[in-house]
Structure formats: C-alpha cells, structure tokens
Amino acid sequence: MPHGPMTQSPNIMWFDPLLRAKTTELAHAVKCLHDALLLHETDSGGRKRARKEADKAKFGLAVEALACNLILLSAIESSPKLAVPRSHGFLWRGDGSANPVYGQHFLSAIDGLASLGLIEEERRGYRLSARIRVPSLIRPSAALAQHLPLAPPDWRSVKQIDDRALIILKEGKRDDRRTAPIAFPETAKTRQLARQMRRINEFLRSANIDVIGQNAGLSLGKDGQVIAPYRRSLRRIFNNANWQHGGRLAGGFWMGMERTQRFECLRIDGERIADVDYRQLFPRLAYVRAGKPQPEGDIYDVAGDGSGRDGWKTLMNAMLFSDGPLKGWPEGTLQHFPSGTKLRDAIGMLAARHQPIAHLFGSALGFQLMRIESDILIGIITHLESLGVTALPLHDAVLVAESKAYVAKDAMQAAFSMATGSSCAIVSIEFCPR
C-alpha cells in the first residue's frame, strides 16, 4: 500500500503488504532469507542487541511480504520497479491502523537486502509538495535468485491474504490505496458493512476465475498492481469522512485491466465474460432524487446530434460531484467540444437541457449517488451469489460468464427498482467481440 498522494509512473508496481508464501517450498526459502538477513545484521554490527521474539516475527513478516512482491515484480514482462513506502507518517500511523508488515522492521528488511546486494535501490523518495511525493523504488539484483525462485519467477507460489480493513473511511475524495484511511469507532452498522464484504470475499475466494495467456509472464494493471487471479480480496472505500459518500468496491485484479484485456483474457467458470452495466446511472439517479420523470433518449446527448457525447458525459458527472461552480474544464473534456467553446456556455447548455436537475449541479450530490450505486452493486453480487453466479463488480457494472449475462441483467433491473422505486434503469450487455 503506497504512502500518500504520489506522482504516477506507467512502469511502477506498488508494494502490496498482503502478499504471502503459498507453498511450503517458498516459505522455506523465505525463512532462509530471513535467517541470512539476521546473521548479516549480527556480523556487520548493524544491530547491537538481538531482537525479541515478537520483533523477530514482525521482521519475518516484512521479509516475506518483500520477497513475494519481488517475485511478482520479476515475473512482469515490462520490468517495472517496486515502489515501497518509507515515510514515517505512513509506516507509523498514530491511530494504530498501519499494516503489521510496516514499521522499523520493514525499513530494516529493505536496508538488509540492499546491504547484502540482493536488491538495488533505484531511488529514495522525496516530497514535491505538501500533497505529492515521489516514491522510493527498488528492484531485485541477480544475486537474489540464489535465495528466491526467480529463474524463472515462480509467481504461482505467492498468495494474497485478506485485508484486515474490509471497509475504509477516507478524509478526501481519492479512492486509491495511496491515501491513508482515518480511524472510526466500531458500530453495529460498520460491523454489518464488514460482514457483507467478508461474505463476498469468501465466495470470490473459491470462485473459478482465471486469466489466460500468462505462461510468458504477468502484466501490470492500470492501478499499478499485478494482474493475477489471486488478487480477488475486495474492500469498500467511503469518502469525505462520511459513510453516506462513496462506498465503491476496490482491490480486484480485473479492475486494473484494460477493457479489451478483460474480454480477451478473463475467464469465469471457463467461459468468456459479458459486461453487464447500467447506462447513464448517475444522472438517472439524480432525476430520481429530484422526483422528476426521466428524459427521453440518451441523457448525455446534450447537443441532440450525438456530437461531443463523451465530453458532455464527463462534464455532467463533474458537475454532479462538484461542491460549488466548476473552476475549469474537467481533465480530458475540452477536446470533445468545438474549438473556442467556453465553459460557462457549455454549462449553460447542459443546465438548460437538464433543467429538472440543474439545481443539483454543484451540490456534491455525486458522492451520495455513488453510495447508492455501491449499495445496489453489493445487493446484486450477493443475490447472484445465492444463485451460484460469480459476478465481479466494476463500479456500475458486473462481469459474469457469458451464459449468465441475462440472469445478471434481470437482477440489475430488479435491484435498481427496489433501491429507487423507479423502473427507469437501462441495463446493457456487452459480449466479447468475436
């Protein structure tokens, strides 16, 4: 879990503290590596006193997680670097929420691996601004292959354990793991939310989900995590320190895959997948919230001729999420409009086209709509699970085996009606192109 908002890189794998040895052989190799690091500490004088048993166990946990991350890193064809957290504020959280892998023992393990020449430190991280950091990067050296199965990398010997934090409350708007969570008191409601996630994860853990074409090596997802079928432990992230904001599911390997890659490589129960999704969900939920009838046709076709649809979609959703007037064009939006279009004119046109919900623009309603969306998705995948249907959530959609597409569509229509009292949902099915 990387530490705080950082600069992005197309070829960085973010350290995952949940990785562990799956096989007896790898567990033995990790134990030998752990012992070698302890012996080096003693021989080099780097540590004056022997660790207590509890501290030795924490050190062993850090070594195991680092070893598993380095094995996966070595299996990725693009040869990325591993971004590891080193900041004090992340490794030693005052609220006690830090993963047990982290602490001084984690830094000692990294330093020991570097001192033995088993890893190379490509860069020490540094702060660019109050919110942006450049991460510390490491990579395995050739010598590490003497201790771990790297020739070739035996990535199937690695597993991922469930995150202790199944529900996460965050201060701001970011959903990724590079924003630290905030502490919250346990209540009957938070226990219920955690139980929902635990049940979903238990089902997904035994589901028949696979990624084909990985014999030559692994690939890195858009989220900076490896695309591998063991990464199916989900958590739910709430925003703005408010349980009624957000709640989207995160953590599944399929979420980091490109759309075409999902259709080409993802298999459920041995079948190709179908993408079953809600069309124009947020604006339709906004019309329901306003108590107004749904408009005819495509909500995002503001111009009436299909032009600039992607731009209108981005702009409309940005206005639903914005707390106050927009101060500039949302990223990647302006290119969809005719040259010289002014933001105020586009906003005026959008407000006129959707006058029944124009009063909701700039009210930050989007985060409440996201909570409704996530509740609906939780209900859908739980219902489909009761039917024995594996459904992988993807924001306002589910991925299912092709043969279950229409079962999923019916479930999504029913879930929307139950949640909103409206039958206005439009659910579409996209099958793998042949």
Residue 1: pLDDT band by 50, 70, 90 thresholds?
very low
Q: What is the pLDDT of residues 343-394, one digit of tens each?
A: 999 999 999 999 999 999 999 999 999 999 999 999 999 999 999 999 999 9
Cis before 100 (ω within 30) = no
Residue at token pair 């199965």 = 149
Count the neighbouring beta carbons within 10 Å of the beta carbon of residue 123: 12
| Cα gap 377→401, rounded to integer Å | 17
Confidence of residue 175 (pLDDT cuts 50, 70, 90): low
Per the CB < 8 A criterion, the answer to whether 157 and 22 are in contact is yes
Q: Is the pLDDT of residue 94 over 60?
A: no
Domain map of the chain by residue range?
A: 1-161, 273-281+367-431, 300-353
Contact 181, 200 (CB under 8 A): no
Gap between the terminal Cα atoms of the chain: 38
- Predicted confidence (pLDDT) per residue in 244-303, tens digit: 999 999 999 999 999 999 999 999 999 999 999 999 999 999 999 999 999 988 999 999
| Average pLDDT for the chain | 90
Of 373, 396, 367, 375, the residue nearest 189 (C-alpha)? 375
pLDDT for residue 73 is more than 70: yes
Q: What are the tokens at 227?
A: 């695309």
* CB distance 399 to 269 below 8 Å: no
DSSP labels for 308-342?
THHHHHHHHHHHHH-BSS--SPPTTTGGGS-TT--
For domain 273-281+367-431, which architecture applies?
Answer: 2-Layer Sandwich (3.30)
Asked whether the beta carbons of 357 and 283 are under 8 A apart, the reply is: yes
pLDDT in tens, 386-427: 999 999 999 999 999 999 999 999 999 999 999 988 888 899
Q: E strands within 239-323?
A: 246-250, 266-268, 273-278
SS3 299: coil
For the whole prediction, is pTM greater than 0.85?
yes
**Does residue 39 carry a pLDDT above 60?**
yes
* Token code pair at residue 229: 């079928």
